[in-house]
Amino acid sequence: MTLKDYFNSWDDHRKTLVLSVLVGVLCGLAAVLLHWGIHTLQQGLTGWFGDSVWWNLLYLIYPGAGMLLALLFVRYVVKDDIGHGVTKVLLAVSKSESRIKLHNTWSSLVASCVTIGFGGSVGAEAPIVYTGAAIGSNVAQKAGLPYRNMTILLGCGAAGAVAGIFKAPLAGVLFTLEILLFNISMSSILPLLLSTVSATVVSYAFLGMEPLFEAFIAPFSMRNLPFYVILGLLCAATSLYFTRMTLYLEDKIKAKGSPYTRWALSALALGLLLFLFPPLYGEGYGDVREMLWGNDIQPAVHTPLAFLLQNPWGVVFFFLLVLLLKIFSMTLTNAGGGVGGTFGPTLFVGALTGFLVARVINMSGVATVPQANFVLVGMAGLMAGVMQAPMTAIFLIAEVTGGYGLFIPLILTASISFGCVRIFEKYSIYTKRIAQSGDLLTHDSDQAVLTLLKTSDLVRDKYPRVHLDWTLREVVKVVTKSTAAVFPVVDEEGHFQGILEMDTIRPYILKVKQYDKLYVYNLMSDPPERVYVDEKMDAVMAKFDRTDAWRLPVLGEDDIYLGFISKSRILLAYREELKEITSQDI
């Protein structure tokens, strides 16, 4: 027996467990490669800058060049849309049976490396999540696993990617549970754990075991609790600004002509922003580390606004502008052809929120609070508000700093931010658009099943067609050979015209003299509702509920008749799908 035959003899559960380790190792390697690529590019492009303000002019050029390279790569090499990685993963689960194209195992990696390495003001986390999910999906496809197992391995890939990039295995699992996988049994967590541990070990081996953000964390003090409450409220307000402004700007910029026009406008605007505010360059994690060590953040090169940094309140004003403009620089980068995510900018804006709150409190003389603590808690507060994933936020910040001494303020601030944001925004920045289109899987199993069911899969064309201009004689020849209770009426081109019910025909069956006098158009009627093949299942069910009908006609483009969909078939498919997603076998 060959190794392949031995592997194929295993059940799906054992295959999934073994493959989750492989997926974790591959995702860890991908995370290391992305980290190395971004760092190498940034060092090569900016490591030789001097003290002159003229070096700052290169900030006008670098981001635009990186965006153009990424745009050309995506447009002429990949030939596919690879932006908004986390959202793409969610759509793959709900619309594509967890199948992701093979090129996504490397294309997002290359494009985001170029974008961020040249100074694009976005994060690497969403592209690596898309890469990891694609690795998991393609490994599952190669192994011939069914949808549910493929979804688990897709989740393993995403979890492994987060674990690898942050060296945070538990955060990777929670990210997948809170944001990606709508319904998962407790026993299904084992593959996720194996994947994240594997990815983290690989990351440790190549990048070292030091936490991503080393910091001196001051012991927790009860007297600072009111200030953490204030921070939570400010994080909620900033999260709403972040989410709504990002989506607003994306819509506005998307309407600006061709991709090259958008690139030119975005490159010019982004270059100007980076020229004035160098902390907007790249991910911004270097500045986050400075904040965590309690240092004043000094731009890597001179800026025309350097005079603001000579005054303590000027520093506050300067970095308040950086906070507000980070959303603009991030959106311009993506809109101009760059590839990156919102995860990194969320952490950066959260760190700035905590930094500014701590700085204002300390400068006002009201109290003295530890800056590093507030920076970390602010990061968790923004994550909880923007991504609406409070558990991921709490444990990620604990893991990336190497300590759990801030659990109480982390939980308090993240909960306040998440709770306040939910009052105004039901969906996260990742899910808002796909929720509006009806493609979002949720933790509500009923809604999740309806999202997974496709109208096109449930159409049955077993009812004989009758034509609009047929006589009753021609109709009788058809109906006497059929057990159907209803017949679709179509014209010569197949366009749907109405329905002819057996109850309508029955009174005329014995009236032979009427056979050549009555036509279909004399006897047909309109159905109570019409269903279109691309309609979402929850909309279809709403039509059944309104009309109390048992079956409805399904139409395609230009009202071409395709068949009927019945309530009984939907209920049967619903039951089978519900059994599938709530199965405890994995």
> Does residue 439 share a domain with residue 291?
yes
Most confident of 194-208, 477-491, 548-562: 194-208
Q: Where are the beta strands (DSSP E) in 1-85?
A: none
Does the residue 537 lie in any domain?
A: yes
Does the residue 159 lie in any domain?
A: yes
The stretch 266-274 carries a mean pLDDT of: 90
What confidence score (pLDDT) does residue 579 get?
A: 65
What confidence score (pLDDT) does residue 359 get?
A: 92
Q: Which of 386, 418, 443 is the last residue of a domain?
A: 443
> Does residue 540 share a domain with residue 391?
no
What confidence score (pLDDT) does residue 586 get?
A: 42
Does the residue 80 lie in any domain?
A: yes
Q: What is the pLDDT of residues 505-558, one digit of tens each?
A: 888 888 888 888 888 888 888 999 999 988 888 888 889 889 888 889 999 888
Q: Residue 444 — pLDDT band, cuts 50, 70, 90?
A: low
What confidence score (pLDDT) does residue 451 get?
A: 67
> Does residue 131 share a domain with residue 28?
yes
What confidence score (pLDDT) does residue 584 get?
A: 43
The stretch 438-454 carries a mean pLDDT of: 64
Most confident of 320-324, 445-449, 467-471: 320-324
Q: Which helix (H) or strand (E) holds 59?
A: none
Mean confidence (pLDDT) of the chain: 86
Q: How far apart are CA 423 and CA 247, in angstroms?
A: 18
Written as one string, the DSSP assignment of 33-51 is: HHHHHHHHHHHHHHTT--S
Written as one string, the DSSP assignment of 299-333 is: -SS--TTGGGGGSHHHHHHHHHHHHHHHHHHHHHH
* Nearest by Cα to 132 from 111, 97, 108: 108
Does the residue 353 lie in any domain?
A: yes
> Does residue 461 share a domain with residue 339?
no
> Does residue 476 share a domain with residue 394?
no
> Does residue 413 share a domain with residue 502?
no
Provide the β-strand partners of residue 471: 519
> pTM of the prediction?
0.81
Q: How far apart are the first and last CA of the chain?
A: 27
Q: Show the domain range for 122.
A: 3-207
Higher pLDDT pick, 423 / 146: 423
pLDDT of residue 353 exceeding 90: yes
**CATH number, position 534:** 3.10.580.10
Q: Residue 49 — pLDDT band, cuts 50, 70, 90?
A: low
Higher pLDDT pick, 315 / 187: 315
CA 388 to chain centre: 12
Q: Residue 200 — pLDDT band, cuts 50, 70, 90?
A: very high
Does the residue 292 lie in any domain?
A: yes
> Does residue 266 share a domain with residue 363?
yes
The answer to whether 70 touches 262, Cβ cutoff 8 Å, is no
> Does residue 390 share a domain with residue 305?
yes
pLDDT of residue 435 exceeding 80: no
Task: Name the region of 341 (left: φ>0; alpha: ψ -120 to 50; beta: rest).
Answer: beta
> Does residue 483 share a domain with residue 405?
no
Domain count for the chain, please give it: 3
> Does residue 141 share a domain with residue 42?
yes
Q: Which of 443, 458, 473 is the last residue of a domain?
A: 443
Q: What is the pLDDT of residues 2-43, one digit of tens each?
A: 777 677 777 888 889 999 999 999 999 999 999 999 999 988
Give me the amino acid identity at 196: T
What confidence score (pLDDT) does residue 374 get?
A: 94
Does the residue 216 lie in any domain?
A: no
Q: What is the pLDDT of residues 372-422, one digit of tens each?
A: 899 999 999 999 999 999 999 999 998 888 767 888 999 999 999 999 999
Higher pLDDT pick, 183 / 140: 140
Q: Residue 182 — pLDDT band, cuts 50, 70, 90?
A: low
The answer to whether 122 touches 334, Cβ cutoff 8 Å, is yes
> Does residue 227 share a domain with residue 198?
no
Does the residue 212 lie in any domain?
A: no
Does the residue 586 lie in any domain?
A: no
Q: Which of 381, 414, 443 is the last residue of a domain?
A: 443
**CATH number, position 183:** 1.10.3080.10
What confidence score (pLDDT) does residue 446 get?
A: 59
pLDDT of residue 585 exceeding 50: no
> Does residue 434 share a domain with residue 471?
no
Q: Residue 251 — pLDDT band, cuts 50, 70, 90?
A: confident
What confidence score (pLDDT) does residue 291 get?
A: 78
Q: Take residue 365 and report the two structure tokens written for it.
A: 């003389």
HEC secondary structure over 193-246? HHHHHHHHHHHHHHHCCCCCCCCCCCCCCHHHHHHHHHHHHHHHHHHHHHHHHH
